Amino acid sequence: MLAIVCPGQGSQTPGFLTPWLELPGARDHLARLGAAARLDLVEHGTVSDADTIKDTAVAQPLIVAAGLVSLGALLEADDKPGVGVWAGHSVGEITAAVSAGVLAEEQAMEFVRERGQGMAAASAVTPTGMSAVLGGDQDEVLATIADHGLTPANVNGGGQIVAAGTLEQLAAFAAQPPARTRVIPLKVAGAFHTSHMAPAVESLTRVAATITPADPTATLLSNADGQAVTSGAEVVRRLVGQVSNPVRWDLCMTTMLDLGVTGLVEVSPAGTLVGLAKRAMKGVPAVALKTPDDLDAARDLVREHTETSHSTN
């Protein structure tokens, strides 16, 4: 069984879409997505600097669009039914929802535009941020995060938890980290997936009320609890609520293993989720679709694991 996963914010780098736009139709596709988001995503994906694409209001539409463009290069529409599981990390859930047939691309870009702007505005209220905590005992890490008044905003599995809160709280945490851990500040502009994002939930709720989603055409996992969601309306409700609640990517990977996933592809801007899978889903072959040079390997994996899935059903 094949899983395709979609990364979240912080995975973008300056110019990362440049090689993708050399593929037939890719530039036009990205331009259409940018028009729906009312942003020049061609410019942001090719020439904008690191500070510009770190801006939440830019980064989130850019990441969703990048996932859709690279997925379009990987799969024809007729190939999508062969994908057994779709999942996305944080804003990548929107990419996955499009891929699983819940949202149209234009709806998704309008939704992520509001999400990015709402989260950017919420981040401006109080200086907040996020830090990755690598290693250590998970219970001790979670307890220390709580002791500092922080939120475990991402429980990513593979020995990685992301703490989020005010910059003062994060500085104090870094000065007294849990034993046997490394604390790495992340290049994000706020404490995402915490109560600091409550204002963004309010604005997204209004946008969600204008959307008529379809039910997923394949298994679509939720960051809230790692479980499959079968109702399109419930998918949208969770997309709204997830803005201020922790991402449980560890549970998503556990569910993938329980479902019998045998191969995994991460769409652009890829690398983070494949890295986590290599530690938490040992033995499952995975391809990070970073550039078009990775397409052949990804297509081979898709072909092998969708054919295997078909032959056993």
The lowest-confidence range among 133-147, 188-202, 215-229 is 188-202
State pLDDT tens for residues 203-262.
Answer: 899 999 999 999 999 999 999 999 999 999 999 999 999 999 999 999 999 999 999 999
CA atoms within 13 A on the CB side of 264: 31
* Structural domain spans, the chain: 2-123+194-312, 128-185
CA distance 281 to 157: 10
pLDDT for res 308: 45
With cut-offs at 50, 70 and 90, classify the pLDDT of residue 307. Answer: low
CA distance 128 to 149: 12
With cut-offs at 50, 70 and 90, classify the pLDDT of residue 97. Answer: very high
Q: Which residues contact 300 (CB under 8 A, 6 or more apart)?
A: none
CA distance 274 to 309: 21
Contact between residue 268 and residue 70 where contact means Cβ atoms under 8 Å apart: yes
Q: Which of 173, 193, 195 is nearest to 185 (CA)?
A: 173
State pLDDT tens for residues 6-29.
Answer: 999 888 999 999 999 999 999 999
CA distance 5 to 136: 26
pLDDT for res 309: 44
**2-123+194-312 — its CATH code?**
3.40.366.10
Calculate what percentage of the chain has a pLDDT beyond 70. Answer: 97
The mean pLDDT value of the chain amounts to 94
CA distance 178 to 167: 18
Query: In the sheet that 219-220 helps form, which strands lie side by side, from edge to edge?
Result: 219-220, 85-88, 2-6, 263-266, 286-288
Per the annotation, the verdict on 193 as an active-site residue is: yes
pLDDT for res 31: 98
Is the predicted pLDDT of residue 81 greater than 80, yes or no?
no
Q: Of 193, 203, 268, 309, which residue is the catalytic one?
A: 193
Q: How far apart are the first and last CA of the chain?
A: 10
With cut-offs at 50, 70 and 90, classify the pLDDT of residue 282. Answer: very high
Q: Of 11, 48, 70, 90, which residue is the catalytic one?
A: 90
Give the pair of three-digit tokens for residue 260. Answer: 């019998």
Residue, of 309 and 182, whose pLDDT is higher: 182
Is the predicted pLDDT of residue 188 greater than 90, yes or no?
no
Question: Residue type at 198?
Answer: A
Arithmetic mean of pLDDT, 147-175? 96
What CATH architecture does domain 128-185 belong to? Answer: 2-Layer Sandwich (3.30)
With cut-offs at 50, 70 and 90, classify the pLDDT of residue 186. Answer: confident
Arithmetic mean of pLDDT, 74-81? 78
CA distance 25 to 20: 10
Q: Which of 50, 194, 178, 47 is nearest to 119 (CA)?
A: 194
- Phi and psi at 220, nearest 5°, equal -125, 120
Calculate what percentage of the chain has a pLDDT beyond 90. Answer: 90
Arithmetic mean of pLDDT, 125-137? 94
